[in-house]
Structure 1
Amino acid sequence: MTNNTRVTTVKTILLLAANPRNTSQLRLDLEVREIEEGLQRAAKRQQFQLRAKWAVRLRDFYRAVLDTQPQIIHFCGHGAGEDGIVLEDEIGQVACVEAQELASLFKLFATKGVECVVLNACYSLIQAQAISQHIDYVIGMNQAVGDKAAIAFAVAFYDGIGAGEGVEFAYELGCSQIVRFMEQHTPVLLKKQQTVAVSDGLATQAAIEVVPPNPYKGLLAFAQEDAGFFFGREKFVNSLVQLAQSQPLVAVMGSSGSGKSSVVFAGLIPELRSMGNWLIETFRPQSQPFYGLAAALVRLLKPEADAIEQIAKAAELSKQMRQGDVTLSQVMASLTERYPHKRLLLVIDQFEELYTLCQDVFEQQQFVDTLLSAVKSAPHDLTIALTLRADFFSHVLSYTPFSEALQLYKPQFLLAMKQEEMEEAIEIPAQKMEVTLESGLTERILLDVKNEPGNLPLLEFALTQLWSKQRQGQLTHQAYEEIGGVTKALANHAQAVYEHLSDADQKRVEKIFIQLVRPGEGTEDTRCIATRDAFRKEDWDLVTRLASQRLVVTGRDEENKAETVEVVHEALIRQWTQLQKWMNEHREFRTWQERLKGRMREWEAMGKDESTLLRGLSLVEAQQWLDKRQDELSTAERELIEQSLASQEQQKKQEQRRQQEKERLQRRIYLALSSFSVVALGLVGVAGVGWWSAAINEINSLAKTSDGQLNLNGREALETSLRAVEKMQSTPWVDADTRRQVELTLLNTVHNVVVPNTLGGHAKQVNGVSFSPDGKILASGSLDNTVKLWDTSTGK
C-alpha cells in the first residue's frame, strides 16, 4: 500500500536579539513579540517555528545557530558600520564583530541549511555584503534605522514569510510599511550569485544591486574617521597645518555651513596626528565653557581614570579654574612634564556658543583671559584652534584683549569653495566607492549650489539622499529631480516627515521645533540646544523619532546630567518654510522666553536668592505667558515665575498688615485728640477718692513716661501717650493741669513721630488739631488765624 501523505517541512526562524550593557536601549522585546504574534496568525504558520535567543556574546550567537539549525536568522540590535555588529566580550565590555568574522561563520552556517539572514541593525549593509557571498538572501541596513521603522519592517517581512510568500515579496512588503518613516530605502536585499541553466549552457544570474556604504556626511560635519573621504579643502588644510606648528592661536572663521568644523576635524587633526608629536583634545564651550575645557584637560591628565572619575575631576578642576586657584598655564606645565617633547592642540569647536549659551559676560571674559594667558605663557607647547561663525566676530572684537590677540594671530577666513574644489568634493568620494555620476550631473549640482558660503551641508545632504537612489552604480539626473535638488532636499525631507505625521503629532512637532530655534535680535535666527526638561514627558518619544529622521540630534550634557536635543543643522532654519512660519507666529513668545532663560540662569547662579526674582512689569509679563503657555515652559522656568509670584503675594500681605496697623493707630490718635474738645457732661458718680487719686497719678505717670521714651523709641512713646489719653477718657473729674499735660504730651509725640515737622509754618502757637474720619488728613489751627491741612502719610 502506497502512502500518499505529504510531509510538510517545518522551517525554523531564529531571532537573535542583542542589546549589550552601556548601549542605548532598543525595544527588542517588542520586536520579537510582534514577529511571534504575526507568525501565530499566519496562514502557513504550521510551516514555521520561531526560536528567540538573547545573543549578547559571539559564542551565544553561534551556539544558538548550532542548537536550532535554522533556515532564517534574524539579528536585531546595534550596528556600527565598518566596525561590525555590536555584542559583548567575555568580561562584559562592548565588542564589535566585523564583516569578515561574520562571513567566516556564515560560510559554515550555509552548509547547515541557512537560507536567509536579516541584519536589522544600523549600518549593517557592510556585514550583509560579506555574508551574501555564502547565503542566498541577506538583508542589511545602509544607514541608521529608527526603532519603530525597524520593528515595522521586521513584522511585515515575517507576515509575508508566514503567508507562504518568497523572500523578495516579503522584503518589498516590509519596505512598503516604512514609507511613513521615510525609511523605505534603508533596507537593502542582497542575493548570492547563482548559476542557472539556459539553452546554450550555463550563465551567471547577476546579484541584486549592492549599494556601497555612503561616503557623504549629509548634514553632519566630517569627523576624524572621515578623513579618507574629505576632499576639496586641501590648500586650506595645508595652511592650517603650517600655522598650528608656528603659532599658538589659530582661529578659523566662516559663515554657518561653510565647513569650519570639517577642515579642522577631518583635515587639520589627522594631519597633525600622523606626525606623532601632538596631543590633541577637543570640546565645545556650550553653557559652561570652563567645564568643557577642564574635561578635555582631565582626559590627558588622568587617562587611566574611568568615565565617572573623570567627570568628578573635571567638575573640580572647572571650579578651581573659575575661582583662579588653578590656571591653564599651570596645567600646561603638568602636561609638559607628563608628555615631554609633545605639543598640545586644543580644539574649541563652535566657539560662538560662548556667547549664545553662556549668558554671563564676566564668565565669557574670564574664559577668554584664561586662554590668552596660556597662549602667552606657553607659545611653544600649546596651540589653541577654534572655529567661529563670522556673524559673531563682533562679539570677539568687543573685548579688547581678544581683538588684540587676533590682530597678532590673524584669523583664517574660510571662503566658499571654488568650482574645481566642489567637483572634487562631489566626485572623488563616489569614485573611491566605484560609483559614477551621470554625464552633466556634477555641473547641474554645481549650478544649483552656486558660489555662496553655507551651502556645503545642503550639498552633502543632497548627495546623501542621491546615494540611496543610485541605479547600477550610478547617480542619475532622474534621482536628483526626485530629491528636489540641493537647496530643497533638506526642506523637502523635513516637510515629507511632517506631512506623514498625525494632526496631533504635527502640533507637537511645532512646539518642539520652536524651542530649538533662538530668535535673532539684529541677526538671523540660530539653533539652540534644549534639554529634555524643556518638553513634556510624553513628547520625548517624538523627539527620538525626529532624530531617527535626521531632523534633530540628541545628546547628553554630562555636567548637568541632562539629555539634550538640537536641530540637525541651521540650513533647516533657513530653508524650511514651515519652520519659518512657526517662528514668525511665535516670535514674541520665544523672544520673551529667551530673556526669561537669562534671568533664570542669573537666579540659579545666585543660589535662587530672593533679590533676583522677577519684579514689576517683568513679573506681570511672565504671569501672562505662564497663563497662556505653561506647557511650553521648563520646570525651572515655571519655578522662577511661581516663586516670584509667591514672593509678590507675601509682600502684598505684609504691606496690607502695615497699612491696617497704621490705620488703627491713626484712628486711636484721632479719637484721642478729638476728646480734648469735648466737654465732659453728666459725670458718673465717684466710687471713691482713693480710686480717683490712683487714676490721676497713673495718667500723670504715663504722660511723663511718654516724654522720657520719645528720644529712645518713638513708637513706644506714642503708645504710652495714647494709653494716658484713653485712661483720662475713662476717668471723671480730671483736673485741668493733668488734662493739659496729657494733651501737650500727645501733641508733642504726634509732632515728632507720626508727621515730623508737619506742624511748622504757623506764625503763632498751634491751639487745636483734628483728624479727618479716615485718618488721612490732619488739620492744625493756630492763633495766627490760619488752618493748615496735612497729608498724614507724607507729612506734606
Structure 2
Amino acid sequence: MVHNSQNNNDNQTPFTSLIEMRKAHSAIMEQRLSKRLGTSELLNCIVNFIVRARNTGVLLGGEEDRSTAQTFLNYWSNELIRLDAPQDQWLDSILADYDQNKAPKLDDKDCPYPGLEVFKEADHNLFCGRTQLIQECLKKLESQQLLVVFGPPKSGKSSLVLAGLLPELKDGKLEGSKNWCYLKPTIPGSYLPNNLDNLTLEQIKLEQIKAGHEKTCNTVLVIDQFEDLFTLCIDEKSRKKFADNLLKLSKPENKIKIILTMRQDFKTYFENLSLLSHELFKNKDYVEVTSFTSSELKEATEIPAKRKGLQFEGDIVDKLVRDLVGEPMPLPLLQFVLMKLWEKREKNLITEKVYREVTGTPKPLGQSGVRWALSHTANDFYYDDKNLSPQEQQTLKRIFLQLLQPSVSSEVNSNRLQRKALYQESEDKEQTNRVIDKLSKANLLYLTKGTTLDDDQIEVVHPSLADSWHLLKSWLETEKSKMEDSLALSLDAEQWKRQGRNPDLLLNGKQIDQAHQLIKYAEASNVKYVGTSKCPTFLEKEFVKKSLRRRQINRVKRALGSLFILGLIIGLCSHFYIADLKESHNSLIKSQPENKDIIEVPIKIVSDKLENFENLLESNRQSIQQLEDIQRNAQQLLQEAKTTQEKVNKQLEMARKISQEAEDARKEASAKSGNFVWGILTGVVGTFVILFLLELYQKWKDS
C-alpha cells in the first residue's frame, strides 16, 4: 500500500508467538488511549511494532494466525497515516511469508496437552474452554458450604475442579478466597477406614495450623471421584460414617468448603445416602458438567497451542471440532488425537499431511477421523511383535473383555476396575502388570494412581473403541453370543429343576453340543465380568451332564432296536423258508411213493429237527414271558441295582458276544435250517435283555 523504508527497525526480532504480538498490540492501544506518550514516541512504538509483526510472518504457518497478524499490521499502518507520520516512517505492512526453516523447534516438554492425564492445578494456563462452568461453580460456592460436581464419565469433572476452579479461588475470585487454607485433594479409595481418621474437624484444624493458617480461616476440602464410596467400599457402616462426617463438616460454623466430584450415573446412590444430600437436591445446589460445545472444543485446542507456540496448518482445528461434535465423551478423544498430532509435528507446526496420516483421511465411510485414529493405534499396537508376545496378546484380550462388558442389548458397558481385579490365578501377575503399563503408555488405557499399585484404577480410554476397533468388536460379539447362550442354558436348567428334574426337559440334538462347548469355553477362558460370572453353576453342569448321558443311552437303544427289527425280518424270512421246506417235503412224498423207503430216513431227520425247532420256539416264548414278568417287577430290582457303569459296559460286551453267537448260529442255520432260526431268536432275546438293563441303569442313575 505504501512505500518501503529502510531503517534500523528492520533488524528488530520477530515476536515469538501471536500471543506476544497481541500483548504488544494491547500495550500500544493502552498507551495511546491514556495519552501518556507524545506523538513522536507513539509513532516510534507503532513503527517498531509493525517491523516486528511483519517479520513474525516467517513463524506463523496457521492461516487463522496469519490473518489475525495481518489485521494488526493493517490497523497500525493506517494509524501511521492518520497520525500524519513522515513518509520515511511509512512501512510495508505485508506479513512476511512463512519459512519452515526459521520456525522454532518445540521441545517435547513444551507439549500443551496432557493427553489422558487429568489437568492438574499447575496446568491451569492450558485448561481452556470451561469458563462458563467455572463461573457457575464460583457462584454456587459463594453461598453454600458443599458443592457437588456431577458429570458423565470422562467429561472433565476432575480437571474442572483441579485446574479450573481451585486456581480461580486461590487467585481471589471470591472474597477472601486468596487467603483460605487449601487442603490436598483426596479420593475415598478402597482404604476408606483409614481415610475416616483424617476426616474429622479436629484433624482438619490441625492441618490448617500446619499450613500456617488460623483455626478460624475458611478451609477448602476437595474429594475427587466420590463414586468410589459406592464402588470400592463394601462396608455399609464405613460408608455411612464417612457421609455423616461430611455432613457435620459442612455446617456453616465450621467454615469448611467441601467440593465433591462424582459420576452422573451414581447420582441416585448419592441421593439415598443420608441427610447429606437432602437440602442439596431439594434446592438443586449442584453443578452438572455439560458436553463441550463446538466453540469450547475449539478453545480447548487452540488457546493452549498458542500459549506454547504450536500452530495448525489450514483448517485442521475446524475439522477436529466437526468430528467431535456429538460425541458423548469428546474430551479424551480430543486429547488422544492432539497427542498423536503433537508427536508427529514438524518443529512448531502440525501440517495437513500429518493430520491426514493420523486421522486416516480419506477415512472409512461412517467413521470419524478421531475414532479412526484411536482404532488404528490399537490395531498397530496389538499386531506389532515389538509390543506384545503371543501370551501378552491373550492377556490384552482378557483385560479388554473385563473392562468392556457386552450386554444383551447392543450397548457395551465401560467399567473402571482396580488393578488387582484384573489379576488371574492362572496367569503371571507380572505379565498382567506389564501389559497394563504398555497399554497405558500407548494411551489405550486410562490409569488413575491409587494408594498402592494394586489400588490403581484402570479403564479403557474411550468406549468408542469397542465399535471402531474391529478386532475388539469381534471379541465382544463372541462374548455377547456366549452370554446369550449362557442365559438360555441357565433358564433351561432352572426350569428342569422346578419340574422335578423331568427327563423330558433335558436338552436334545445340537443343543447338547452347544451347551457342552459353552461350559468348556467358560471354564477355559477364566474371565469374570463385573457383577456377573461366566463360570457355569453346578446346576448347569449337572443339567448338561444328564442331557449327555440320556443321549448316549438313547443312541444305544436305537442301535439295539435296529438290531431287533433286523432280527424280526430275518426270522420272518426263515419262517417262510421253513414253510417252503415243508411243502417241498410233502410234494416229495406224494410224487415219489416208490422211494418211500429211500427217503424215510432223511424225512425223519428233517421232521425231528422241525419238532426240535418248534420246541425251541415254545421255550423262547416262555423266556419272553419271563422277561415280561421281570419288567413288571422292575421296581423290586431297582433296590438291587448297585452296578456301576463298568458292569453295564460288561453287559454291553456280553450283548456283542451274544450277537456274534447269533450271527454264527445264523450261518450254521443256512445249512441246518432249524438252528438258523434259533440263532436269530437268541439275538432278539439278547437285545431285549440289554434294553431292559439299560433302562434299569438309567432309572438308578436318575434316582
Query: Which TM-score tier does this pair reach, normalised by the shorter chain?
Result: 0.3 to 0.5
- Relative to its length, the structure with more helix (as a share) is 2
TM-score (norm 1): 0.42
TM-score (norm 2): 0.47
Task: Between the two structures, name the one with larger relative contact order (CA 8 Å, sep ≥ 6).
Answer: 2
- Relative to its length, the structure with more strand (as a share) is 1
Structure number with larger C-alpha Rg: 2
